[in-house]
Amino acid sequence: MPLAAANHATARSRRVAAPASEVRVARLADAKKAAAPVAVVDETFYRQLVASMRNGVLAITRKGTIAVINDVAYRVFGLPNRPDDVGKPFAEVLRHHPEVLRLLGGAFDLSHLPNRAELRLRSLGKVIGYTLCHVKDDAGAIGGAVLFFKDLTHVEQLEERERLRDRLAALGEMAAGIAHELKNPLAGLEVMAGLLRRQLQDSPDALSILNDIVSEARLANAIVHDMLEFVRPLRLQVEKVVITNLLRDAITMAESKVSPGETRVIAQLAPDLPKISADPHQLSQLFTNLLVNAYEALGGKGTITITGWREDIETIGETTLDVLQSPAVRIDIADDGAGIPGEVLDRIFDPFFTSKPEGSGLGLAIVRKIVGAHEGSIDVATRPGEGTCFRVMLPVAPLSMSRETFSNFHGRV
Cα(202)–Cα(196) distance, integer angstroms: 12
Cα(342)–Cα(381) distance, integer angstroms: 11
The residues with which 387 forms a beta bridge, in sequence order, are: 383
Task: Summarize pLDDT for 147-173 with one digit per residue, the tens.
Answer: 999 988 877 777 777 777 777 677 667
Quote the pTM value.
0.49
Measured CA to CA in angstroms, residue 397 lies from 51, 158, 250, 311 at distances of: 31, 18, 22, 13
**CATH code assigned at 379:** 3.30.565.10
For residue 235, which of 409, 410, 411, 407 has the smallest C-alpha distance? 407
Q: Domain range for residue 299?
A: 234-413
Question: Within 10 Å of residue 332's Cβ, how many Cβ atoms?
Answer: 17
Residues 257 and 381 occupy one common structural domain: yes
Residues 371 and 244 occupy one common structural domain: yes
**CATH code assigned at 82:** 3.30.450.20
For residue 125, which of 324, 387, 413 has the smallest C-alpha distance? 413
Residues 6+ apart with CB under 8 A from 339: 382, 383, 384, 385, 386, 387, 388
User: Does residue 371 lie in a domain region?
Assistant: yes
User: Does residue 343 lie in a domain region?
Assistant: yes
pLDDT at 36 over 70: no
DSSP 139-204: T--EEEEEEEEEE-HHHHHHHHHHHHHHHHHHHHHHHHHHHHHHHHHHHHHHHHHHHHHHHTTT-H
Residues 197 and 248 occupy one common structural domain: no
Residues 6+ apart with CB under 8 A from 408: 165, 168, 169, 172, 233
H/E element holding 317?
none
More confident call, 287 vs 176: 287
Residues 200 and 283 occupy one common structural domain: no
User: Does residue 83 lie in a domain region?
Assistant: yes
Residues 187 and 120 occupy one common structural domain: no
pLDDT at 206 over 60: yes
Q: Is 162 within 8 Å of 85 (Cβ atoms)? A: no
Last residue of a domain, one of 92, 118, 151: 151
Last residue of a domain, one of 232, 258, 289: 232
The pLDDT value given to residue 391: 94
Residues 304 and 405 occupy one common structural domain: yes
Task: Summarize pLDDT for 244-275 with one digit per residue, the tens.
Answer: 999 999 999 999 888 888 999 999 999 989 99
Q: Worst-scoring range by mean pLDDT, 204-218, 272-286, 362-376?
A: 204-218
204-234: b or e for each residue (b if 16 or more CB lie within 10 Å)? eeeeeebeebbeebeebbebbebbeebbeeb
Cα(409)–Cα(413) distance, integer angstroms: 13
Place 286 in a pLDDT band, splitting at 50, 70 and 90. Answer: very high
Task: Summarize pLDDT for 332-366 with one digit per residue, the tens.
Answer: 999 999 898 888 888 888 877 777 666 667 788 88
More confident call, 191 vs 144: 144
User: Does residue 156 lie in a domain region?
Assistant: no
Task: Summarize pLDDT for 2-23 with one digit per residue, the tens.
Answer: 544 444 444 444 444 445 555 4
Domain count of the chain? 4
Residues 143 and 166 occupy one common structural domain: no
Residues 123 and 180 occupy one common structural domain: no
The pLDDT value given to residue 223: 73
User: Does residue 174 lie in a domain region?
Assistant: yes
Residues 223 and 330 occupy one common structural domain: no
- The region that residue 105 occupies, defined by phi over 0 for left and psi between -120 and 50 for alpha, beta otherwise, is alpha
Task: Summarize pLDDT for 47-94 with one digit per residue, the tens.
Answer: 788 878 888 999 999 999 999 999 999 999 999 988 899 999 999 999
Residues 12 and 146 occupy one common structural domain: no
User: Does residue 299 lie in a domain region?
Assistant: yes
- Give the side-chain half-sphere CA count within 13 A for 239: 7
User: Does residue 208 lie in a domain region?
Assistant: yes
Place 27 in a pLDDT band, splitting at 50, 70 and 90. Answer: low
State percent of the chain over pLDDT 70: 78
- Tell me what the pLDDT averaged over the chain comes to: 79
State percent of the chain over pLDDT 90: 31
Q: What's the rounded mean pLDDT across residues 177-200?
A: 77
Q: Is 405 within 8 Å of 397 (Cβ atoms)? A: no
The residues with which 265 forms a beta bridge, in sequence order, are: 304
DSSP 45-67: HHHHHHHH-SSEEEEEETTSBEE
**Amino acid occupying residue 189:** L
For residue 257, which of 288, 233, 287 has the smallest C-alpha distance? 288
**Amino acid occupying residue 290:** L
Measured CA to CA in angstroms, residue 174 lies from 128, 164, 179 at distances of: 37, 16, 9
Map residue 261 onto helix, strand or coil.
coil
Residues 131 and 274 occupy one common structural domain: no
The pLDDT value given to residue 22: 53
Place 37 in a pLDDT band, splitting at 50, 70 and 90. Answer: low
Residues 6 and 101 occupy one common structural domain: no
